[in-house]
Structure 1
């Protein structure tokens, strides 16, 4: 389970988030090496006694500081483009879920089932049970099967919203009159929290998102119980 209060990134719960964490570490190492080199050059220039005011040009140095940044940009851009393609890739999804943002709650429609839809509201602070997280718990969680590719269709009914689950590497805008698509895969069972990431009005911070990933067999039981109610 990924807790939103922990420092830094939440634990990766999807292949996309794992790739994003690797890319973050890769880029951070590049920035660290550049910063170290710049600090080293500055320290050498400030401490050396070898000075000269007769240099008019230095073609070798100019070639280095022109070619080296280009190589660094390629080193950063290639893994970034790879992740972008992975995030857009979606083939043969096992389930399609449509989520619609409202002021200020979410509604979910499981399009592969007849009449399986519900609204998800935040639980008020005074109604929380012991162990539940304030401003993050909802009355109806979005239950999904683990280790299954899921197509998410995201839209809004009134204003701009943003459907974001950090531990799953998801953040997609919900735009009125438009369907945005993203891929959801939970690699292990658990409860994953998110919130609307777009300033959508007075109660923007009171429309959390809760996804509960469970085994496929349990998901089928849950879906049948929801259809019966």
Structure 2
């Protein structure tokens, strides 16, 4: 969960989100280097120290600043493609959690538990207890075991929604009449918060997502 004064992103709780952090740092190094280089060149031009013919009519320099950006793009593209493949990888084993978006709440179903479905509504501000988060708490959390692969199937019963959980590196559209699936591996126990990331109507900001990760033994003993 985010906290006041936090400088970085929300702490990663899955291997995919950790890889996203690494790619973020990788890209920031590239962007910072380009920013510093362009700033230095701009200052030198403003000070009229780079206005000689060796700079303004230099074919070698033109070749360098054409080829160098191509190498920089490759340096950025290779880890990006690797991350895309990791996001699409699905094992097909473990728990299945079906999430259905409604205006404006979520319904969950765990087929292997044979427990039917349950709805997850946002807790009104007046009903919050001490320590609970405004606009993020729900009356029924989706519970999954940690250290176990979970396949989330997202769909919608009415309009476009998006099931997003930042700590897991998960964001998947919930489309009416279509089943989109993705894998989620929770590394540690805890409560993880997200929200619908699609503008789905007037109450779009009032359909949060809360996933609680528990030990497998505790998950088996739960009564859904």
Structure 1 distance, partners of 2:167, 2:44, is 43
Q: Is 1:32 the counterpart of 2:29 in the alignment?
A: no
Q: What is the CA deviation profile of residues 62-104 of structure 1, one whole-angstrom value per residue up to 9, with x for unaligned ones?
A: 1111111110000111101101100110114211111000000
Q: Which residue of 2 aligns with 1:172?
A: 172
Gaps of 5+ in 1: none
Structure 2 contact 160–173 (Cα < 8 Å) conserved: yes
**1:205 paired residue number:** 205
C-alpha distance 177-50 of structure 1, shift in aligned 2 (>3 A)? closer
Q: What is aligned with 1:75?
A: 75
Deviates more, 1:30-39 or 1:5-14: 5-14
CA distance in 2, matches of 1:92, 1:160: 25
Question: 1:146-203 deviations in whole A, cap 9, x for unaligned?
Answer: 0111111101010011111111111111110111111111100000000011111111
Determine the structure 2 residue equivalent to 1:14. Answer: 14
In 2, the alpha carbon distance for the partners of 1:105 and 1:55 equals 61
Query: Which stretch has the larger CA shift, 8-17 or 57-66?
Result: 57-66
Equivalent position of 2:107 in the other structure: 107
Residue of structure 1 equivalent to 2:221: 221
Q: Secondary structure at the match of 2:81?
A: helix
TM-score (norm 2): 0.94
SS at match of 1:99: strand
TM-score of the pair, normalised by structure 1: 0.92
Alpha-carbon distance between aligned partners in 1 of 2:42 and 2:15, rounded to the nearest angstrom: 41
User: In the alignment, does 2:100 pair up with 1:95?
Assistant: no
CA RMSD of aligned residues (A): 1.8
Q: CA deviation at 1:4?
A: 6.6
Point out 4+ residue stretches in structure 1 off by more than 6 angstroms. Answer: none
**Cα displacement (A) at 1:131:** 1.1
Within 5 Å, give how 1:145-160 maps onto structure 2.
145-160=145-160
User: Residues 132-143 of structure 1: matches in 2 within 5 Å?
Assistant: 132-143=132-143
